[in-house]
Amino acid sequence: MNLKSISFFILFLAAFSVFAQEQEPKGERQINIVYGANFTKDEAQYPGASIFSKDDERQVQFEHQGADLWCDIAIFYAEENRLKAIGNIRLQQGDSIEMNSAKLDWNGNTSLAKAWENVDLTNGQMTLTTDTLYFDREKQQAYYNSGGKVVDSANVLTSKVGTYFMTPKKYQFQRNVHIDNPDYIIDSEQLDYYTTSKNAYMYGPSTITGEEYKIYCERGFYDTKIEQGYGIKNTRIDYDNKIIEGDSLYFDKATEFASATNNIQITDTINNGVIRAHYAEVHKAKDSVFATKRAVSISLVQKDSLYMHGDTLMVTGKEEERILRAFRNAKFYKTDLSGKCDSIHFDEKTGITQLITDPILWNVDNQITGDSIHLISDMETDKLDSLKVIENAFIISLDTISGTGYNQAKGKNLFGKFIENELKIIDLVQNTEVIYYVYNDDEELVGIDKTICSKIRLLMANNDIEDITFFVNPDGDIFPETDLPVESRKLKGFVWRGDERIMSKEEIFDEDDNNIELVKIRGIDNPIDIDAEENERQKNQNDPINAPNNKAVKPKKPVLKKKAQTP
């Protein structure tokens, strides 16, 4: 070794001795050098710093509280316990977290790091890329605010702002959040995403668009692996040509099922029909809708809304072949027509509406009863075409002039004809009887007509009897009022039910309907601890009965008190 070499060696040892003194341990937060490779100083540009650069064998390496950092060049401020890393930086924490970048600032006292230029962070299940990333090792969080992208096995997620929580392996994305999946797209203002389960929790305006559905909510959950989730604030699902809205909505693509709880509206976009209720289910594969709890169907009939209610409503069948059923306490109302019975059965293909079990129909002021009542619509015009009352047909109307008597007609069967949705012709056949108050042009009572015959035709005008025609050997007469006893002014089987008449759409609901206590939707009034819910969800992922989305959010089908009568 020559003198020059010995002098350089002594100088290097002296410098390294000074550096060793500078980097004496100052506690657990001290950044420690593992491999310094080439050492130098540049007081003009980096006063107080020691500069290390890689050699031909390996990069510079530092260690800090269990994390290792490799880089090409390190500018280390031992007194301040911080360093600047440049070139091919790799930060390794344990076996899972690895970050790469071109530049990095690291503060050992605060455990804060800033990485920029071609930053990527991976935990073995996903990779985050961004221009600038802030890393808080104290809180075990990494965040960006200038745009970032996360890629895992299922999704590509982008947002303007994002935070990665390492302990629960969760991302919190904000502003212009977008998830791209081969089967769907999610857009949201804020979304929390767990990288292990791939579950997403949404806040603010959020939209999920799948191949056959579209979901909107402002607070909700979505399992991105199986396309299953719920919304609990301003939620809407466009599904199977229907728009479903409600306080709480549940959706499962695999079972082709959606359900809703509280303040529900289901709109049929093809037929422009609407169902409202406080609990409903949509089964896509079965082409069916089930609704209960103040359930009502609303459809348009010749510029007039028809409201149909029952304890339970069911709609089944494909487009133009749908069947609507209303079970128990069934009622309906439109401006000039209302009625009630135990069950209603409407067949869209035939245009026939059947009122089943103790039916009663009010056509304006006319009360019509019988064992079974059918309303038939014209399939081309969607207007009411005809009326059938099968067995024990009976029509009654209050005599509006006297205010005390009743016009009545009865027979075995009744057949009516509607013209422009107004009942114009009524034929009563077999064993027909009539009691009718006859007046002159001055509205003076001429007498009371009481007749028996084989058939009666009533011609209606302005929903009142204008003319009566008797067929086949009519037997009867017009009696002066004084000659016909009061007890003889009512036909056998007469029952006036005017106090039951439905006069408005609100009257289709009874007291129980109007006093329903709505189910409390968890999470609407108070925020849900989603970390706790996610933990519970993962613990119960193999136990669907106790899984949170079933137990707390998916509405349960109400228990029906009686078995529905199927027509």
Q: Give the domain ranges of the chain.
A: 29-152
Determine the Cα–Cα distance for residues 172 and 186; give it in Å rounded to an integer: 14
| 85, 298, 370, 406, 514 from 511: Cα distances, Å | 74, 20, 27, 31, 5
Contact call for residues 31 and 108 (beta carbons, < 8 A): yes
**Residue 512, CB half-sphere, CA atoms under 13 Å: how many?**
6
pLDDT for the residue 59: 95
Determine the Cα–Cα distance for residues 368 and 383; give it in Å rounded to an integer: 20
pLDDT for the residue 302: 64
Contact call for residues 306 and 318 (beta carbons, < 8 A): no
| 10, 117, 166, 308, 503 from 98: Cα distances, Å | 39, 16, 12, 62, 72
Element (H, E) at 304: strand 304-309
Determine the Cα–Cα distance for residues 54 and 47; give it in Å rounded to an integer: 21
pLDDT for the residue 523: 61
Q: What is the mean pLDDT of each run of 10 residues along the chain (567 residues)?
A: 35 39 55 92 93 94 91 94 95 87 93 93 89 90 93 91 89 93 92 89 92 91 91 89 91 92 90 89 89 91 84 88 91 92 92 93 92 90 89 93 90 92 90 92 91 91 83 89 91 94 94 88 66 77 46 37 33
Residues paired with 296 in a beta bridge: 276, 309
Determine the Cα–Cα distance for residues 233 and 248; give it in Å rounded to an integer: 7
Structure tokens at 201: 């929790």
pLDDT for the residue 78: 92
pLDDT for the residue 305: 87
SS (H, E, C) 243-279: EEEECEEEEECCCCEEEEEEEEEEEECCCCEEEEEEE
Nearest of 222, 183, 182 to residue 202 by alpha carbon: 222
Burial class (CB in 10 A: 0-12, 13-18, 19+), 229: buried
Determine the Cα–Cα distance for residues 269 and 27; give it in Å rounded to an integer: 69
* Domain 29-152: assigned CATH number: 2.60.450.10
